[in-house]
Structure 1
């Protein structure tokens, strides 16, 4: 796990047909596009995938399709609402060939006690037969991960979309959840980065990954500036903007999103 799970992870989107159903053809073509451009790790059913708008059976289908059509490492996000549904999604990760499973803290209610979050994570981690990754995104979950939570919950890595670099020393492997701030955290000891905009220009981010692996510090610092400028155009558009950009790259890729998101 420590050798394979380092570097770039792409949180893949969920394409929807005009009918509102998942467009399986577009999803598979996108996976092939990512693979062709050097992507070796993906996250399925994460925030970028609009997990909050997917039925549980749709999240299961996404994971099944990804495992059939992507040969690299797959992180399955257990994105259900409530411990019981999340436990079910951890079991899917075990059974359907995911290489790791990630979970947010409870996303409702906010302001939970550390003890409650620890108990929740421990239940999920105990059910996981693959490496268990904690996911910190207090902006949306309403419950921030803390050093005490990280110390109390056995886990393989942390995906930190809050970019709280103080947490780096409290986790075995730290992944910065950012498309714009990659170079500095890696220099400080982060194991990798999770970049949503790599869905659109995977070759750029794969090149950045290789520069970091090869310790080409000067070139990586320059490429960080290019990535920061490129990512800036998506800073306000979010998932709808990413889908529209992919539609310009992949003919036939649908740019539809589910309510409450809007194009």
Structure 2
């Protein structure tokens, strides 16, 4: 069994895309961050990802992104899998961050489809192939067309999988469920497919997905992980129940741009100082009230 086949067996479950907490002065709150990672692991999350969408990577410079990876690696201490986000809109920066991830010994690097640039499919192929060829660690493609304005087509993903043995999976934040079905059909049933759309976490398991990288796990890690555990145990009824039980929280967390609502919720829970870096800001008072009511209804907060 190759090291990439071994990775495909290992990199499964609920991987939490942990937020980046800031102090009131805007600096990274390192102790709070490490506490969040520890809480995630103790709550049952099967893996940790950082500096993905929930981690506000476009608000961090390269040195800060490396620092967050270092902090996560230290806090995880080998207890669960670690798949940091290393992609950006800049090609050389993506290679630098991905090489750094390999240097510190991560389990896989998650590389986003470049945002804002709007590359065509051939350019996307060249970007990802060059990044994959620069390292030997597994690569997970992060396809989120709602935020990048570009969708990696199935044919492009298939081409990359055929040409790059270390591209072993994709996080699909794609509401087109036909698309994600075709990803597994064309890239192989052993290709690791993760849902990045909260309401598709359970359906993705049903078609052969490897798990999910759900922002909701920042707020309710235990139940998000239990959904995966129930499915793996063959308890379909419990998995379905958790899917619907989590739906009100999934809905409210995305009524404003992620991670603004998640940070507001974590602030209410006493986990962080709910600080974002501009241009992001906290949701409206009305939405924060709705968030609090949802947390109370789900018994995450007391009345």
**TM-score bucket (shorter structure):** over 0.9
Please give the secondary structure, in 2, of the residue aligned with 1:159: strand
Q: CA RMSD in A?
A: 1.3
- Whichever structure has more helix as a proportion of its residues is 2
Q: Which of 171, 186, 191 in structure 2 is aligned with 1:170?
A: 186
Report what 1:89 is aligned to. Answer: 97
The one-character-per-residue Cα deviations of 1:20-65 (angstroms, maximum 9, x if unpaired) are 1000011011111111111120111101100011010000000000
Matched, 1:241 2:261: yes
Contact 2:267 2:274 in 1 (8 A): yes
The one-character-per-residue Cα deviations of 1:114-156 (angstroms, maximum 9, x if unpaired) are 1111011000001122101111011111221112211221210
Instruction: Map 1:1-263 to 2 at 5 A.
Output: 1-70=7-76, 71-110=79-118, 112-153=119-160, 154=164, 155-163=167-175, 164-165=179-180, 166-171=182-187, 172-237=191-256, 238-251=258-271, 253-263=272-282
TM-score normalized with structure 1 length = 0.95
- The Cα shift of 1:230 comes to 2.1
The one-character-per-residue Cα deviations of 1:147-198 (angstroms, maximum 9, x if unpaired) are 2211221210010001432323233111111222222221111111111011
Contact 1:101 1:128 in 2 (8 A): no
Contact 1:45 1:76 in 2 (8 A): yes
Contact 1:52 1:79 in 2 (8 A): no
Provide the C-alpha distance between the structure 2 equivalents of 1:77 and 1:128, rounded to a whole number of angstroms: 15
Contact 2:263 2:274 in 1 (8 A): yes
Q: Which of these two proteins has the greater Rg computed from alpha carbons?
A: 2
TM-score normalized with structure 2 length = 0.83
Could you tell me which runs of 5 or more consecutive residues in structure 2 were left unpaired when the two chains were aligned.
1-6, 283-303
Could you tell me which runs of 5 or more consecutive residues in structure 1 were left unpaired when the two chains were aligned.
none
